[in-house]
Chain A
Amino acid sequence: MFIGTEQLTHTYMPGTPFATKALHDISFNFKQGDFALIIGPSGSGKSTLIQHLNGLLKPTSGQVVFEGKNIGSDKQELLRLRKRIGLVFQMPEEQFFSETVFDEVAFAPRNQGFDENEVENKVIEALEKTGLDPNELRMRHPFQLSAGQKRLVAIAAVLSLNPEVLILDEPTVALDTAYRKNLFDLLTGLNHKEKLTIIISTHHLDEAAALADRVLVLKQGELAMFGPAVEVFGRREELYSLGLALPPVTEIMHGLAEKGMPVSTSVYTLQEARREINKVKRRDRS
């Protein structure tokens, strides 16, 4: 098992009248190199689950597993773990506290005890990975950047550790379409070129569906579905009942299939759809 959980249960404020079960009996595993999605309506426990994956929250019962080993609570071990599993929180730009973009991105490598030369290399590398220009931005105040740039700086601030797994909690919240596309291109690049395992939580499948290898669906803190993307997205009605809509293209393909056109319905991008329809047209002609 690369990264996953075994019968994970988490209760907030246990032993008080306010105790709320946020997660119940969740078991799953993602493989190395996966582009994985954790989807579910708001309040279904996505953030809680994600924060378990690098030991920020402790399971009330059950285990979190990374590379076949349970995540314990030894502080040094957790620090090492958090270097390998990077986590970008929801609205990560709200964590900014430095006066320059450089210091902001340098925070994580400095915490890991690298010397200043290495820190500088890591900062520049991380900014470049996100497609930002280090020379232009490094001395800027992070609060002065645009919303999209801020989000990228926040992601660079985690990438500066060269993690093997990058987890992002609702990375596209409050971003406009152009920035959303930009962000997903970036994540695809990291997944393909840098071989990063990527896990994102979202309730917005438009861009994410086409990229996903494996999908986990949460419903009120319980595991509703887990499996390869094609399998999970095939259960369209169930997803609908959870308030999760497949991308519009996929809906069109479903519509066409219902009308009797022999097209595949596991199509998530316009290109794929065009290819699929052309295939049918060609077959009709011949």
Chain B
Amino acid sequence: MTRSITLGQYIPGQSFIHRLNPRLKILILVLILVLLFLLETFGALLASLAAALAMFALAGIPFSYLMRGLRPIFYIALFALIIYFFFTSGGVVLLRIGFITVESEGVEQGLFIVARLVVLVLFSLLVTLTTTPLSLTHGMGYFLKPLRYAGLPTEEVAMIMAVALRFIPTLMEESQRLMRAQLARGADFETGSIFRKAGNMVPLIVPLFVSAFRRADELALAMEARGYRIGARRTRMHEDIITLKDWGALALVLVLVALVWAFSL
């Protein structure tokens, strides 16, 4: 029996960062991102990197996750470095290959940009690793609320997102099960041309659709049976309480932003 796989990368835990209120966590993340763009010195950037790493340690997240999270930006970082190294001029010439020169200004700027990118990704990663997708959507739903005055059904949109997130792992598990079931009947999902492969997917896609629609039907019925109505106000089982600790964390980040801004660190 596979335990239900949690979508995204949430790693369960009880740390302070895990328990931070999701709404404020999103707000704090935004503030930290602003902070990172305000930073001007390498020293401050290194300090923020150290802070990020310390928070990863505090949340008890294995180092391997950190590396895995950074992998997608590897090529972007490499590309940025090359562009900065070879095409930004200024400062001392460090290296000359034919007509191409690498100058100190470019190296400095390139490293700074890439370091900023890494720290930025690390902090975002920290949020997705320590918050369940469900509380993330609730948190974001909260910030979408003002859009209701523009006529957007924000509660419903949040519900759709939450349901979708809830069922992605279920459907993934089901597709794996189906795949094995059809493999047992000699199905082939790997060889052949792309058209052949697409055709071979039919035994997977049809049953998946059938069950997805059945599930949707059942879910709709179950929700209605429990009194779900579009447009009605809902209360939540896990109340979204902001504690003093949460406010403290927010205040701390605000102070940091103010300091960085005031002293242009």
Contact = CB atoms under 8 A, between A and B. Distances in A.
A interacts with B: yes
Interface of A: 12-13, 17-18, 20, 22, 42-43, 45, 47-48, 51, 54, 56-57, 79, 82-83, 86-87, 89, 92, 94-97, 107-108, 111-112, 143, 157-158, 161
Given A43-B1, A95-B203, A97-B203, A87 B186 contact: no
Contacts of B181: 89, 92, 95
Contacts of B211: 94
A85 to B, nearest CB: 9
Contacts of B2: 12-13, 20
A57 B180 CA distance: 8
Interface of B: 1-3, 5-6, 11-12, 62, 177-178, 180-188, 202-207, 210-211
Nearest to B1: A43
Contacts of B205: 97
Contacts of A47: 1
Interface of chain A, main secondary structure: mixed
Pairs A-B, 8 closest by C-beta atoms: A111-B186, A97-B206, A108-B185, A87-B184, A89-B181, A56-B180, A97-B203, A95-B181
A97 B207 contact: yes
A51 B1 contact: no
A96 B207 contact: yes
B169 to A, nearest CB: 11
A4 B204 CA distance: 29
B3 A95 contact: no
B13 to A, nearest CB: 9
A12 B186 contact: no
A107 B185 contact: yes
A86 B184 contact: yes
A202 B181 CA distance: 18
A280 B123 CA distance: 79
A82 B187 CA distance: 10
A20 B4 CA distance: 11
Nearest to A42: B1
Contact of B178 (A22, A48, A95, A161): A95
A82 B1 contact: no
Given A95-B181, A96-B207, A108 B3 contact: no
Between A22, A51, A94, A161, the greatest number of chain B beta carbons within 10 A of the residue's beta carbon is seen for A94
Contact of A158 (B185, B206, B210): B185
B1 A95 contact: no
12 contacts: A17-B11, A20-B2, A48-B1, A51-B180, A57-B180, A87-B184, A89-B181, A94-B178, A97-B204, A107-B186, A108-B186, A143-B210
Given A89-B177, A94-B211, A54 B184 contact: yes
B12 A95 contact: no
Given A17-B12, A89-B177, A111-B187, A95 B5 contact: no
B126 to A, nearest CB: 16
Contact of A161 (B6, B11, B186): B186
A72 B178 CA distance: 22
Contact of A97 (B6, B186, B202): B202
Contacts of B187: 107, 111
Nearest to B60: A17
B202 A56 contact: no
B41 to A, nearest CB: 37
Contacts of A79: 186
A115 B205 CA distance: 26
B207 A82 contact: no
Contacts of A48: 1
A111 B188 contact: yes
Contacts of A94: 178, 207, 210-211
